[in-house]
Structures are given as C-alpha cells and as structure tokens.
C-alpha cells in the first residue's frame, strides 16, 4: 500500500450526508478527469440506495444512464425513490443532480438469498497479479518524459492499484484485439463492510471498459484527440465481494459504430469465482 493515497478520501466520498431518509449529498474525489468520474457516481448511487434497504436483501443488479457531465467543484445530491418492497425483491430508483439539474439516473434491484441451480464462466488462465507491473510504474517513465502529472489509474496514490496483464504503452499504442485483462484491488485495506465493498467495486467497474474499444484502432487518449464518455452502465453482482483483495477484470468490446462502443466485463476473484458482470456503451467521438 502507498502511504497518503486517495483510498481514505474515496471511503469518505462514498459516505453520504443524509438530509432525510431518502435524500443524500456526496462530495467528489478528483482523479484528474475534467468531469466527475462516472464510476464515482455509480458508487455513490449504490451507497445511497443501500441506505434505504433494511430487510436483509442484497443488491444484485443496477442499470444506469449518464445524462450530463458532473462538475467536480460541486457536491452531488441523490434522491432515492422506493419503487417496490416485496417479499423477495426490492427496487429503488436513484436520481443524481447538481444545482437542481439531473445528471444521472439508476435503477437498482435487491433480492433475498435463495438457493438454486449454479454455474459460471471459467476464469482465463493469465499471469498472477504479483508477477506483473502496476499501471503507475509503467506510466511513470512516460510521465517524466512528457512532463505529465500521473493521476487516477496512472498514479501510485490512486485509490486503486491496477496490474495489467497485457503491456500497454499509451504513447505508442499498437493494434490489438479488443480484449483486456487487468488485476485490481483497493490501495489498502477496507473495513469489513459488505456494502462498502459493493460500492467500491461499482467505482472500479468503470475503469478500462471504453479504453478496450480503442485497442484495435492504434489510438489512445495521448495520441488522438477524442471525446469519450460513458452513456449507460449495467452491473450484476453474483457472489460475495472483497475489493481489497486481487480481482481480475476481463473486458471485451464486441462492437463499435456510429461514435459509440459497446463493452462487457467479467470480474473474478483470486479463486476463480465470478463475482460480477458489467456492460456499458459509451461515446467515442474522434475530434478533428
């Protein structure tokens, strides 16, 4: 763990200030992006909705739309609406806004624990995280060469540590298949709070999705002017989560057209358990 990293700040911005039972306000964690990082809004919406569930049900799916960019300088207000309280399932709707303008909307579904049929995809056989170099170490050489301050995924002080399986040079990208394998975990230990582990996994799930769609085109943020943004995001939680232990994110982009790219992801733990799945479509607009 790197001392003085942003993990304590992340925990703080995922802890809501409640003005009522179903209204919450969160601050932002700046990681270098010009607008509020989409994963932060996902995680805060999950944290807000989780505070309204008190009957033992667990979050199993969420579906979200990003409507407007978030302003890093302003807090974000979240309004939770109860759509259903049932015997087996609960549903919540969360709307995020800044200065009264809605920027994001999410639907969430919660379920009681049930037994039934079980199967899962097999985790790919890739190098283990301990044998790999972190993104921050890989990027340090380029940061010094081009006088760039590393932030977020590229910084050793970021709230998460990322160990890519495939080497990636953002300043000299090559043509690769649109599939990406990355190990990740929080940059330190989290409290033993399942809701916090769930929210932090939602936070990390927005990393590497749209970037994977760039791989077959020999472009990156640092070589090609582009506008890139998440449009929608879906996530399914399958099994218990420990985000302060190594997790493998397998991301694939099966389609890109009309300025949009579609990506899906599978998240495995060290023991090969499939703990979550993701899907996202995003805007990738090449600028002249």
Marked catalytic residue, from 155, 205, 253, 280: 280
How many Cβ atoms are within 10 Å of 45's Cβ, its own excluded?
29
**Beta carbons of 213 and 253 less than 8 angstroms apart:** yes
Rounded CA-CA distance 58/208 in Å is 26
- Which one of the listed residues 77, 90, 206, 244 is annotated catalytic? 206
Q: Which residue among 6, 230, 253, 277 is the active-site one? A: 230
Q: How far apart are CA 9 and CA 1, in angstroms?
A: 15
Task: Find the DSSP H helices in 180-248.
Answer: 194-204, 209-212
Is residue 206 annotated as part of the catalytic site, yes or no? yes
Please state whether beta strands 179-186 and 76-85 pair in parallel, antiparallel, or not at all (unpaired).
Answer: unpaired
Q: Within 13 Å, how many C-alpha atoms sit on residue 66's CB side?
A: 23
User: What is the C-alpha separation between 64 and 110, in angstroms, rounded?
Assistant: 15
Supply φ then ψ for residue 234, to 5 degrees. -125, 150
Q: Which residues are catalytic?
A: 206, 230, 280
């Amino acid at each position: 763990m790197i001392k003085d990293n942003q993990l304590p700040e992340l925990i703080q911005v995922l802890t809501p200030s409640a003005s009522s039972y179903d209204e919450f306000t969160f601050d932002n964690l700046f990681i270098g992006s010009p607008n509020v990082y989409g994963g932060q809004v996902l995680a805060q919406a999950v944290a807000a909705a989780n505070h309204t569930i008190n009957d033992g049900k667990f979050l199993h799916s969420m579906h979200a739309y990003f409507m407007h960019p978030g302003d890093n300088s302003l807090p974000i207000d979240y309004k939770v609406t109860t759509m259903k309280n049932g015997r087996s399932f609960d549903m919540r709707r969360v709307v995020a806004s800044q200065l009264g303008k809605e920027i994001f909307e999410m639907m969430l579904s919660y379920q009681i624990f049930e037994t039934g049929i079980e199967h899962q995809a097999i985790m790919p056989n890739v190098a283990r995280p301990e044998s790999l170099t972190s993104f921050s170490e890989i990027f340090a050489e380029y940061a010094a060469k081009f006088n760039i301050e590393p932030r977020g995924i590229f910084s050793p002080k970021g709230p998460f540590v990322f160990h890519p399986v495939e080497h990636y040079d953002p300043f000299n990208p090559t043509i690769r298949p649109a599939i990406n394998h990355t190990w990740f975990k929080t940059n330190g230990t989290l409290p033993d709070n399942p809701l916090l582990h769930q929210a932090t996994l939602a936070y990390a799930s927005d990393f590497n999705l749209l970037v994977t769609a760039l791989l077959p085109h020999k472009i990156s943020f640092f070589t090609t002017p582009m506008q890139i943004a998440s449009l929608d995001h879906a996530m399914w939680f399958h099994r218990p989560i420990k985000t302060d232990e190594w997790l493998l994110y397998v991301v694939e982009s099966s389609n890109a057209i009309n300025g949009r790219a579609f990506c899906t992801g599978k998240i495995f733990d060290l023991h090969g358990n499939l703990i979550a799945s993701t899907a996202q479509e995003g805007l990738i607009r090449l600028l002249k």
